[in-house]
Amino acid sequence: MYKRINYITAILVLVCGLSVQAQVTTSSPYSRYGLGNVKGSLLPQLRAMGGISTAVSAINGFNYINMQNPASYSSINLTTIDIGMSASLTNLSRNNLSETSFNSTFSHIAFAVPVNRKSALSFGILPYSDLGYSYKNSVKVDTLSVDQLYEGEGGLSKAYLGYGYKFGDHFSIGGNVEYIFGNLLTTRATEYAVAGAVNAKLQNKNSVGGLNYSYGAQYNFNVSRKLSMTLGYSGSSSGKVNSKQSFYATQYTRDASGNENTALDTLSAVTNAKSNLTLPLTHNFGISIQETDKWLIGADFRMSKWSNVSVNNVNQGLQNSWGASLGTQFTPDITSYNSYFKRVDYRLGVSYDKTYIQIGNQDIKQMGASVGFGFPLPSANGLSFYKINFTTEVGQRGTLTNNLVKEQYINFHLGFTLNDKWFRKYKVD
């Protein structure tokens, strides 16, 4: 067991080291709205299937940590660890302008431990949202050219502790206690294209740290000897998370090289004022059907009440969102000894979302397709199971209509999953 612990520790150090070198996690003007780009509690193996999760637990007997629906924890019968990282290639286009950026980061670390035959405990940490943008609008005020600058950086993370329990042979429930934390920093500035002009800047920092809750239920039943069906529901509460807000309004100039000088004056300053953040109420519904040791296909429908989201009791002007996903996993022959690729999991998925963003009466929509693989690794003793999960997502958000920004992206997700029985008793002859 200690060799396995050292193995996992080495991988974790490697992943964390890669993440430290790449702290910028997104470059999207749409992250300006709401709480940033909301990531969702999905590991690579679920993202590969379009993000289906509500009615998914163990697939082909292999344990996955599905924190999107904590009821799934009840099917975990081995100690399970999942760690990983992600990267994205994003192209932004507007009119005849185009810009491409690349970002990568540590994505998650999650653990699950069976408590008894019908329940399991899970805990971990993963991103909740990412904030990252920098752009400007140039306008004319009388005869002067004025640049309006917008910048944002930061994001929120989520640490969770969850428990799932199965009643009888078919019905499971579960819940997560989640600690949402992080910093959201936004800046707006107005600059005049005149040498020595006095410019104005508004900077707002929100330091978030508070509890929220999510929950779920699953009902599983046999359709035939080899076929089973699962119905699922999951959601999260619309709670208020504590935060501290700092606000600064300053005036400044730029030198001959264009560098920003020290602020001339601070017009207003508020430091660490008590505030709060209202999170959206969410509902997810799902269905899946699975043939034992062969395939799974499922669909999800989701909705979130973003219209109630507020910061310091100020409504953020967002709209309610909804979306749907369809995905599948297929394993040609899980017991094959002659062909490795017959034991590989092949995954496909599609998704569509009407997001919570509306600009100039234009709904911002997002659509994508995904493909992924689960590569099994050899087991030393036949009692532990390893798998590398790789996923690629291709999608688009926004449109060029009405002078808006079209965002095209390719996301890469890499995860390592371990299933093992760490706490077994050894018998001595």
Closest-CA residue to 164 (of 80, 101, 222, 93): 80
How far is Cα 8 from Cα 420, in angstroms, rounded to an integer?
A: 12
How far is Cα 376 from Cα 9, in angstroms, rounded to an integer?
A: 20
The per-residue DSSP string of 41-79 comes to S--HHHHTTTT--TT---BTTB----TTSGGGGGG--SE
> What pLDDT is stored for residue 380 in this prediction?
64
The per-residue DSSP string of 121-179 comes to EEEEEEEEEEEEEEEEEEEEETTEEEEEEEEEEEEEEEEEEEEEEEETTTEEEEEEEEE
> What pLDDT is stored for residue 264 in this prediction?
83
Longest dimension (CA), the chain: 93
- As to burial, measured by CB atoms within 10 angstroms (0-12 exposed, 13-18 middle, 19+ buried), residue 347 is buried
DSSP state of 310: E
Amino acid at 162: G
Count CB-CB contacts under 10 A for residue 173.
18
Q: In the Cβ-directed half-sphere of 156, how many Cα atoms lie within 13 Å?
A: 30
> What pLDDT is stored for residue 84 in this prediction?
94
Q: What is the dihedral of CA 123, 26, 183, 83, to 10 degrees?
A: 20
Long-range contacts of 191-194 (CB under 8 A, 24+ apart): 191/146, 191/147, 191/149, 191/254, 192/144, 192/145, 192/146, 192/147, 193/144, 193/145, 193/146, 193/147, 194/144
> What pLDDT is stored for residue 313 in this prediction?
83
pTM of the model: 0.88
> What pLDDT is stored for residue 135 in this prediction?
84
> What pLDDT is stored for residue 25 in this prediction?
56
> What pLDDT is stored for residue 425 in this prediction?
53
How far is Cα 39 from Cα 387, in angstroms, rounded to an integer?
A: 23
Q: In the Cβ-directed half-sphere of 102, how many Cα atoms lie within 13 Å?
A: 2
> What pLDDT is stored for residue 424 in this prediction?
54
Residue 366 in contact with residue 397, Cβ under 8 Å? Answer: yes
pLDDT tens figures, 183-203: 999 999 988 877 778 889 999
Residue 10 in contact with residue 3, Cβ under 8 Å? Answer: no
Amino acid at 394: V
Q: Mapping DSSP to helix (H, G, I), strand (E, B) and coil, where does residue 339 land?
A: coil
How far is Cα 154 from Cα 124, in angstroms, rounded to an integer?
A: 20
Low-confidence ranges of the chain (pLDDT < 70): 1-26, 380-382, 423-429
Which phi-psi region, left, alpha or beta, contains residue 62 (left: φ > 0; alpha: ψ -120 to 50)?
A: beta
Q: Give the CA distances from residue 417 to residues 20, 45, 79, 81, in Å, rounded to whole numbers and listed in that order.
A: 22, 10, 10, 6
